[in-house]
Amino acid sequence: MREALDRPLEPAPRGDPGSALRWTAKSLANPAGELKAQGRAVSFRLAHRLPHDSGYSLKGNQKVLEGAMHPLRDEQFRYINAEAGRMLELGNPVLTVDTKKKEVLGNFANCGREWTARGDGVKVNSHDFPSPELPRANPYGILDLGRNAALINVGTSHDTPAFAVGSIRVWWYESGYELYRDSGSVLITADGGGSNSYRSRLWKWMLQRFCDEIRKPVTVCHFPPGTSKWNKIEHRLFSFVSINWRARPLTSFETMINLIRGTRTSTGLTVKSFLDSQKYETGIKVSDSDFKSINIRYHDFQGDWNYTIYPRNITLSFLKILKLYSNAP
């Protein structure tokens, strides 16, 4: 029977021929039907057992291939770890930031399952084809690693560098100022791309304005290319937010923010969340003269990824601060 089973499975084997473990793309119904066509009495249960006895196994995709590894990847992670440890010892805030997946709001199915009374399952649209008119949400997260506390700023516009720095500014006035007003500086770890890309002039320009306002230097350390999933915010914040709103359609901004605020972990994570309804334009360019005015020092090690921006030697009045952030939340 096993030899007869190998013949219908053999045309589509997958993987290393020399491996003891084999697998196939065919379902169990196909080999069972082919064996029955040979005159063999095969039940579905037997067809299920025989592949395991013959060395086959059900396999799914595994997200483990990271592509080409940057030669300085390990050194950069050691550098980030050393900088974070030094800042925490000094009592300074160490933040990790990132944008969670954009969400389309509406009565659409959400991944996961949740215990409910029999027959009380949430009814959602049968098709997930959102129209362009439906609102989109950009959740930008800031995780305070030292205090295990987070803030997610939910944007209604574009995910731009101005929105990213505006979200960090929201964190400062909602949490950071009270906790770290006497700190010497701020450390931010971020991915190398997206709205907080190390290549973005606007990201650095907006950070300069933020430094001028809070009168503290801000150090930024970017993760190497291809390592965005190594960001602690992914598995210490975003994953738990996804668990908290599993099987619940995100029908409105209010629903989304309330679900984010209700996120808790056994380690004591607390999450704040706010709605940012400001409009952030795309395609904003920073002129050469403005970029040269940034008071930035690139670190000796991999300066493109590691740099510190210092407040400029100017006195900003309250009116000037309002003018700088006239488009901020």
In this structure, is residue 19 part of a structural domain? yes
> Does 256 have pLDDT greater than 70?
yes
d(CA 176, CA 206): 18
One domain, residues 42 and 160: no
Percent share of the chain, pLDDT over 70: 75
One domain, residues 28 and 167: no
> Does 316 have pLDDT greater than 50?
no
Beta strand 186-190 with 218-222 is: parallel
| Alpha carbon distances (Å) from 9 to 14, 32, 38, 110 | 10, 10, 14, 36
One domain, residues 8 and 129: no
Residue 36: which domain range? 2-53
Segment 269-273 mean pLDDT: 96
> Does 84 have pLDDT greater than 90?
yes
DSSP for residue 247 = T
One domain, residues 16 and 155: no
One domain, residues 196 and 283: yes
Q: What is the full DSSP assignment across 49-69?
A: HHHHHTTB-----------SP
pLDDT given at position 37: 73
Q: What tokens does 225 get? A: 């290319």
Residue type, 128: D
Query: pLDDT tens for residues 147-184?
Result: 999 999 999 999 999 999 999 999 999 999 999 999 99
pLDDT given at position 132: 74
CATH number reported for the structural domain that contains residue 274 in this entry: 3.30.420
One domain, residues 174 and 311: yes
In this structure, is residue 89 part of a structural domain? yes
Segment 227-241 mean pLDDT: 92
Q: Say which residue, 7 or 2, is predicted with more confidence.
A: 2
Q: How does the average pLDDT of the chain come out, rounded?
A: 84
- Name beta bridge partners: 144: 95, 149
In this structure, is residue 308 part of a structural domain? yes
Residue type, 112: G
DSSP for residue 196 = G
In this structure, is residue 204 part of a structural domain? yes
> Does 270 have pLDDT greater than 50?
yes
Indicate the number of domains in the chain. Answer: 2
Q: What tokens does 13 get? A: 């084997």
6 pLDDT band, cuts 50/70/90, is low
> Does 58 have pLDDT greater than 80?
no
